[in-house]
Amino acid sequence: MRHILLSLPRSSKRLVALLFDTVAIIFCLWLAFYIRLGMTDSFTRYYPAFIVAVAVTLPFLVRMGLYRAVLRYMGSDSIIVIIKACSYSTICLMLAGFVFGQIHLPRSIPFIYWLLLLPTMTISRYVVRSWLLGESISDIFPEFFPNKQNHSRRGIPVAIYGAGAAGVQVMSALDKGIEYQPVAFLDDKKDNAGRAIQGRRIYRPKHFEQMVQETGVQEVLLAIPSATRLRRKEIVQTLEQHGLPIRTVPAMSDLASGRMKMQEIQPVDIGDVLGRDEVEPRHDLLEKCITGKVVLVTGAGGSIGSELCRQIIKQKPLCLVLYEHCEFSLYSVEQDLLKAQSTLNDCKSVQIAAVLGSVNNPERLVETMRRFVVDTVYHAAAYKHVPMVEHNIEEGLRNNTLGTLYTAQAAILTQVERFVLISTDKAVRPTNVMGASKRLAEMALQALSDERSVKFFHAEKFGVESETNIPINTCLTMVRFGNVLGSSGSVIPVFREQIRVGGPVTVTHPDINRYFMTIPEAALLVIQAGAMAGGGEVFVLDMGQPVKIVNLARRMINLSGLTLKDESNPEGDIEILYTGLRPGEKLFEELLIGDNVTGTNHPKISMAMESKEGWVDYRLALESIFEVARNRRFTDLRNQLSSYVNGFSPTSEVVDWMNQTDQPEQRQEREVINYH
């Protein structure tokens, strides 16, 4: 019956509601006569009163939009409509009794009629609403069934952590859906303990087990937008020991802007597990190189580049140029920014230009910077995956080192004011080619920053004579930091997918650790560090304490409501497997090469002045490196890098697919392995 009713067209559903209300009006008025006068034939004796009641009440209900409301999602606004309509109907019934004497209506009848009609129309709608949602008597009256946990109502029973305004908003939104069923609240405040919000009791965290027994909660949703990172970390640590999945709901600002929907309830932000408390950004530094200027971001479609663009557009640049070689990534970030722009009134005048281009195309770089008269460049374009670069050494060097040098020279040639390189902790005493390529990129900027004019590397590609000295008026600097949570190279998405499919979770080594920070925090700190630059510095972001990857994996398993399968718990859900270090991977990352580190006027940013090479020597070394790379002599190439890049010490054999030193039988063996 329920499915038949739900499948009816909208007009038929309204007709059913009108017929029901007509019967309810007639019945309540008849019952009012019976209660007041004890008569059963009031319908024939007072039929004009029944006609007036129906003729007045239904138009009021229609006019006030009650039949436009979706019954399954009826809220308190519908009750207000019913109260108004019943009141207007009663007043009209009283007036009809005075105006038309033939009705002879007793004065108390309208009041009794109002007292009967109001609860009938209200309660009947809530009963039908509960029936349509599949609720049972125990769901409607849980106080009479304290031990019944198998809720027949739709959705997963959840507890909402946070009994404030945000928690109530989340509850109201979930009540209108079918995925989740809010049955209780959790809150730290002692004054709230034992109280209830719309029938949902508020428990304190120490009564978690009692709450589970009484309500059958299966998941916990965090609704604490005002809490700091450290506070959220404490809350997550308290909750995860109970073994239930912990999820987070979108922020109300994201819901209002349309970026997310309430249905997009996600696993708890891993940043809450790590507990890094972010420092309020300095707006003077954020605005210095952006507001009213033309800003170009290379690698704009990447995880760091796209977040830089989101933060930059908030500072109201004159124009934001997105420079990206991947068409889909460029399209995605452009659409994301246009959507965000529509919700930010102050940023609607910002011009967004999506330019397809490679950082290895100097002509395209120069043309773009001249066309838009760029003031500031944030260079985020890079290959970041360590094993991938180990298998493609020449392309890794070409993109990370030459791409940076070409972009910097294009900025110098077009008189860009400031150039900021996004670097990595893997550039410090690297054990892989990716790290070495990023250190070479840093060295290029350090060498250029010490010169007043230079002869360009591959000058002919810029339309410049090789012997021409190009003056340098561009401030060149770099910002170095570790891993960011959720980036394309992060382990977080990998672990999350492995847990989703039932494991195992793969970790390369039990002792491997990494620094982590959130992408928005990293982007904001990059912008602020770049604004403090004088030229040639290496800014280092405060990454906090390193995190053991295996501990991170364990936490993510626990937060998913699952248990770790190991020797002490062979019946657990998810196993952790150690796969061994990948080519070029090292156990510990560092952020500094030397000890010459000074603080800045920002608590999360330090500045290092590291050893530099002269530009002439750097050019010669780079020419030699790429000559060897072009000949595919990658063993010789790594020896060159070892002598030129401070601390470079490879930890694996050469695994580049194009390595010319392989013997035919070795290549054949590797091809067979790759085939299988």
DSSP class per residue in 198-216: TTEEEE-GGGHHHHHHHH-
Mean pLDDT of the chain: 81
* Structure confidence at residue 320 (pLDDT): 96
Average pLDDT value for residue range 454-481: 94
**Rounded Cα gap, residues 130 and 149, in angstroms:** 18
Confidence of residue 531 (pLDDT cuts 50, 70, 90): very high
Residue 485 host element (H or E): strand 483-485
SS3 283: helix
At 140, list the tokens.
């409607």
Q: How many CA atoms lie within 13 A of 138 on its CB side?
A: 12
Confidence of residue 392 (pLDDT cuts 50, 70, 90): very high
Highest mean pLDDT among 121-130, 178-187, 471-480: 471-480
**Rounded Cα gap, residues 1 and 113, in angstroms:** 31
Q: Which of 328, 309, 326, 325 is nearest to 317 (CA)?
A: 309
Q: Which of 454-458, 512-516, 525-529, 672-676 has the lowest mean pLDDT?
A: 672-676
DSSP class per residue in 428-475: SS-SSHHHHHHHHHHHHHHHHHT-SEEEPTTGGGGT--TTPEEE---E
Q: What is the pLDDT of residues 604-655, one digit of tens each?
A: 888 887 778 899 999 999 999 999 988 888 888 888 998 888 888 887 788 8
Residue with the bigger pLDDT between 195 and 507: it is 507
* Structure confidence at residue 673 (pLDDT): 40
Q: What is the pLDDT of residues 129-178, one digit of tens each?
A: 676 666 656 555 555 555 554 444 567 888 888 888 778 888 877 776 66
Q: How many CA atoms lie within 13 A of 529 on its CB side?
A: 32
Residue 336 has pLDDT above 60, yes or no: yes
Return contacts of 225-234, CB within 8 angstroms, 24+ apart: 225/166, 225/251, 225/252, 226/164, 226/166, 228/277, 229/271, 229/272, 229/275, 229/276, 229/277, 229/278, 230/275, 230/277, 232/269, 232/272, 232/275, 233/272, 233/273, 233/274, 233/275, 234/275
Identify whether 504 is preceded by a cis peptide bond (ω within 30 of 0).
yes
At 425, list the tokens.
């902790």
Any idea which residue has 């922020």 for tokens?
251
Q: How many CA atoms lie within 13 A of 593 on its CB side?
A: 24
Q: Which of 37-46, 220-229, 334-343, 425-434 has the lowest mean pLDDT?
A: 37-46
State the DSSP code for 136. -
| 75 CB-contact burial (10 Å; exposed 0-12 / middle 13-18 / buried 19+) | exposed
Q: What domains are defined for the chain? A: 2-132 (no CATH), 143-268 (3.40.50.720), 283-644 (3.40.50.720)
**Rounded Cα gap, residues 40 and 352, in angstroms:** 76
Supply φ then ψ for residue 22, to 5 degrees.
Answer: -60, -45
**Rounded Cα gap, residues 172 and 158, in angstroms:** 13
Q: Are 357 and 365 in contact (CB under 8 A)?
A: yes
Q: Are 181 and 157 in contact (CB under 8 A)?
A: yes
The model carries a pTM of: 0.68
Q: Which of 179, 185, 189, 212 is nearest to 201 (CA)?
A: 185
- First and final C-alpha spacing in the chain: 56
